[in-house]
Structure 1
Amino acid sequence: MHIDEFDTLDDAPAREVVSVWAAVPPWVDAVVAGRPYGSVRALADRATVLTRSWDGATLDAALAHHPRIGEKAAGDGAGAAASRREQASMADAGADVETRMAAGNRAYEERFGRVFLVRAAGRSPQEMLTELERRLANDEATETAEACDQLAQIALLRLHDTITEETT
């Protein structure tokens, strides 16, 4: 979608677009309310600034829509499709990595009470597993900050995958 099209969408369809980036309603509303942006850079800069207020409650709400790493996202919506694309490298994971990822996901959920979140795009299965195992040693505050950062990275990648300044 061209930035000019995004800037002129009615609010409801604009919210649908932004919700795919991160299902954080106050953030979605603020990004939509900030239009028009005129450029992808201005949009991304504003979206980034707005992610800095994310906290544990924000993270927990957003993660209700995220699949576990190594599990296929259910549904046929844009968010599920984005998750499947981002986690595509998990199809190449060996049995050992899959087993360790599943065990790590369970341990993470027991420890932190939420699904493990990592920016999967551009990472190999082993890199994601290494991150999971490393982050299991985090304290609650450190892990919340890291997970919020990962959610912000995912949101910005999805923004850049969706909005362009190129005419199609």
Structure 2
Amino acid sequence: MTPRTALDRLNSAPPAGLAEQLRACAPIESWVRHLIAARPYPGRESLLAEASARARAWSTEDVLGALSHHPRIGERAAGLSAAESAHSSAEQAGVEDPDAWVLANARYERRFGTVFLIRAAGRSQAEMLAELERRLGQDDEAERAERAEQLRQIALLRLEALIAD
């Protein structure tokens, strides 16, 4: 008997349990429901392509709603599920000085009225702070698009981890 892969388990998981795992990737119900309904996926690539395509259709409201599940860069995750908390902690490994983020986060929130979101995985604190500075100069529409793209990247990284064998 061939061992079941993570993708096999995703394809056959009960919808309620899978929904909880997918919400930890991106807490956007329409995305979660669609990924569950579109099963089975013949391969990792098809799942990731479908997830990415659906993420590109997220509305501003979808993204802002999901931001309520993301802690500020440099802050400990509070009130998140165990999976969300684990993702956040791992992704923020590049944060060397959480105090440096207090002022940076406040500036961003004053400018755009929401939490700064960036795919932190694989980035140093200096890189993330430079991105925040660059993005402060964008207009609202450009920043909305960038915020959605960052959330899409985060969701796909988390989804890839979910199906890693």
Using the size of structure 2 for normalisation, the TM-score is 0.92
* Correspondence for 1:85: 90
Q: 1:48-63 residue pairs with structure 2 within 5 A?
A: 48-63=52-67
Deviation at 1:17, TM superposition (A): 1.0
CA contact (8 A) 1:7 1:38 kept: no
Q: CA separation in 1, counterparts of 2:37 and 2:15?
A: 8
2:85 partner amino acid? A
Q: For the aligned residues, what is the CA RMSD?
A: 1.3
Structure 2 gap segments, 5+ residues each? none
Report the Cα distance in structure 2 between the residues aligned to 1:100 and 1:83, rounded to whole angstroms.
Answer: 18
Provide the residue aligned with 1:40 in structure 2: 44
1:67: Cα distance to partner? 0.3
The CA deviation at 1:38 is 2.3
Partner Cα distance (1:139, 1:55) in 2? 18
1:70 to 60, 68, 74: 74
| CA displacement, residues 84-119 of structure 1 (integer Å, 9 cap, x when unaligned) | 0000121x33xxxx4442212111111111100000
Instruction: Please say if residues 24 and 83 of structure 2, whose CA atoms lie closer than 8 Å, have aligned partners that are also in contact.
Output: yes
- Give distance in 2, aligned partners of 1:145 and 1:62: 14
Would the aligned equivalents of 2:74 and 2:99 in 1 still touch at CA under 8 Å?
A: no
Do the aligned residues in 2 keep the contact of 1:68 with 1:116 (CA within 8 Å)?
yes
Number of aligned residues: 160
| Counterpart residue number, 1:135 | 135
1:159 paired with 2:159, answer: yes
1:129-165 Cα deviation digits (max 9, x unpaired): 001111011111100000000000000101111103x
**Amino acid of the residue matched to residue 162 of structure 1?**
L
Secondary structure in 1 matching 2:8: helix
Q: Partner residue of 1:22?
A: 26
Paired letter, 2:91: E
Structure 1, gaps ≥5 residues long: none
Between 114-123 and 33-42, the greater mean CA deviation after superposition: 33-42
Q: Percent identity at matched positions?
A: 43
Structure 1 CA distance for aligned equivalents of residues 108 and 63 of structure 2: 15
* Segments ≥4 residues shifted beyond 6 Å: none
Report the secondary structure of 2:77's partner residue: coil
Mapped partners of 1:64, 1:25: distance in 2: 14
Q: Could you say which residue in structure 2 is the equivalent of 1:118? A: 118
